Amino acid sequence: MLTEERQQRIIQLVQQNNIVKLHELTKLLQASESTIRRDLQDLEDQGLLKRIHGGAQKNSHLLQEADMQQKTTVHTLEKQAVARLASQQIAPEDVLYLDAGSSTLALIDFLPTDQNIQVVTNSVQHAARLIDRGIQTIILGGKIKLSTQATLGYTAIEQLSHYRFTKVFLGTNGIDLAAGITTPDPEEASLKHQAIAHGEVAYILADSSKFGQVTFTHFANLADVTIITSPLELDNLSEYQSKTTILEASL
């Protein structure tokens, strides 16, 4: 198993179990204690977990998430640029999935109204804006998460399972070489993961601040998606480009 694959598995185990023991990791990953210790040190240095005696535990900050009002007031210019570029990927007759989030909300203002597109969303706020623009809209049912105005849970996932999309547009809280694409809420992650599985193409809309960030729940590998983002100034940009397609929007 490659180092990156092993570390990705460690992150997943920490997310699932809160605490992992060194001896368990050596058995599960078929690696020596010294190798696992180095992995844990690397992951702690990246802020992905916290080492404890005999193992590691998750970082509590990985669960934190701003509400929609907070999200829509930061990186506004970058989100507008990302949304504009994302809209250029849309073709007539497309069936789109837009999940809840400030980046996908910005996209709605750039959606074409003369190309007979249809949009499925799990966001109450998104649905209202889509209707205002005269775009054919389906909103998933389910319980509503107040902070993001998103429908989640079994009902939303069951309804989504019946649909197929030409293009999927998702937001994220973190993009990382080791951890992949992450979000704080496991229920949101489940819905995002299923949307990707039911789409021909999946796009992640994220401003440059999301790179190098990791939150609680993994929902996609870098190779599963195309990332549309604002201009990047990353020392390791070539490493990201070797794992995924990145489209940079001009400001």
- The pLDDT confidence band at residue 153, using thresholds 50, 70 and 90, is very high
pLDDT at 68 over 70: no
Average predicted confidence (pLDDT) for the chain: 90
Q: Is the pTM for the entire model greater than 0.85?
A: no
Output DSSP code: residue 176: E
Output the CATH code of domain 3-58.
1.10.10.10
- The whole-angstrom separation of Cα 6 and Cα 25 is 10
Question: What integer is the mean pLDDT of 21-50?
Answer: 88
pLDDT at 239 over 50: yes
Q: What is the DSSP string of 54-68?
A: TEEE--GGGG----H
- The whole-angstrom separation of Cα 179 and Cα 220 is 9
pLDDT at 52 over 90: no
Q: What is the DSSP string of 131-175?
A: HHTT-EEEE--SEEETTTTEEESHHHHHHHTT--EEEEEE--SEE
- The whole-angstrom separation of Cα 53 and Cα 247 is 42
pLDDT at 226 over 90: yes
Question: What integer is the mean pLDDT of 191-200?
Answer: 98
- The pLDDT confidence band at residue 74, using thresholds 50, 70 and 90, is low
- The pLDDT confidence band at residue 88, using thresholds 50, 70 and 90, is very high
Please report, for the chain, the start and end positions of each structural domain, with discontinuous segments joined by +.
3-58, 68-248
pLDDT at 12 over 50: yes
pLDDT of residue 61: 57
Count of other CB atoms within 10 angstroms of residue 173: 23
pLDDT of residue 129: 97
Calculate the dihedral angle through the C-alpha atoms of 44, 46, 48, 52, rounding to the nearest 10 degrees. Answer: 10
Question: What integer is the mean pLDDT of 45-72?
Answer: 68
pLDDT at 73 over 50: no
pLDDT tens readout for residues 93-103: 999 999 999 99
Q: Which residues pair with 205 in a beta bridge?
A: 228
pLDDT at 163 over 90: yes
Determine the angle formed by the axes of helices 22-29 and 3-17, rounding to 10 degrees.
130
Question: What integer is the mean pLDDT of 154-179?
Answer: 96
Output the CATH code of domain 68-248.
3.40.50.1360
- The whole-angstrom separation of Cα 210 and Cα 172 is 8
